[in-house]
A and B are shown apart, each in its own frame.
Chain A
Amino acid sequence: KAGVTQTPRYLIKTRGQQVTLSCSPISGHRSVSWYQQTPGQGLQFLFEYFSETQRNKGNFPGRFSGRQFSNSRSEMNVSTLELGDSALYLCASSLEGLAFSYEQYFGPGTRLTVT
């Protein structure tokens, strides 16, 4: 069974631009969660999508948004990029979400650099 895939793996953007990252979960998984990893803050939860609906949200500004498609693939978007948005963005998939199972599988991440 194929794992979680994220595209692109690396991205360089300029401050003020917007960016879209993509995540394809493991086949059959309906929940996708997004996390931001930075050296200073560690891993921080962004949001979770389940069956095309946002089910949970972390403490990030509205510039961070996401969506999920009917095939469970998910995208996250960051608008008006700031230097502090430079981070590794990880997505994780699970069958039904953390409320029902503690098993979630992470993708390799997208490394975003904002200059």
Chain B
Amino acid sequence: DQQVKQNSPSLSVQEGRISILNCDYTNSMFDYFLWYKKYPAEGPTFLISISSIKDKNEDGRFTVFLNKSAKHLSLHIVPSQPGDSAVYFCAAMPTGANSKLTFGKGITLSVRP
């Protein structure tokens, strides 16, 4: 059973427009959420995170929104750039001892010049 779901496997947007990547989770024990970006032949790199006590976190062009009641989070990239083309993974974890990350399957974002 997938506890973190990224239902859209791919997304294509025009350069300069907004990219919205969605993620849903089922485990109510998750209270910390992260987004990772992965280029081919490289490991994932941390992008942005959000704690369950917040509903929004912003870092430059990247904003993550969390809707706890809907168990849904989204990553907004504005404006999108061709260098943002990559696979984006949503991940979630409960805080506390022996925490481990549960990842979604990833979304491939293509930003067209």
Residues of A within 8 A of B (CB): 4, 33, 35, 40-45, 48, 55-56, 58, 90, 92, 97-99, 102-109
Contact = CB atoms under 8 A, between A and B. Distances in A.
A59 to B, nearest CB: 11
Interface residues of B, number: 26
A44 B103 contact: yes
Contacts of A90: 43-44
Contacts of B62: none
A82 B34 CA distance: 32
A4 B100 contact: no
A107 to B, nearest CB: 5
B49 interface: yes
Nearest to B32: A102
Contacts of B96: 99
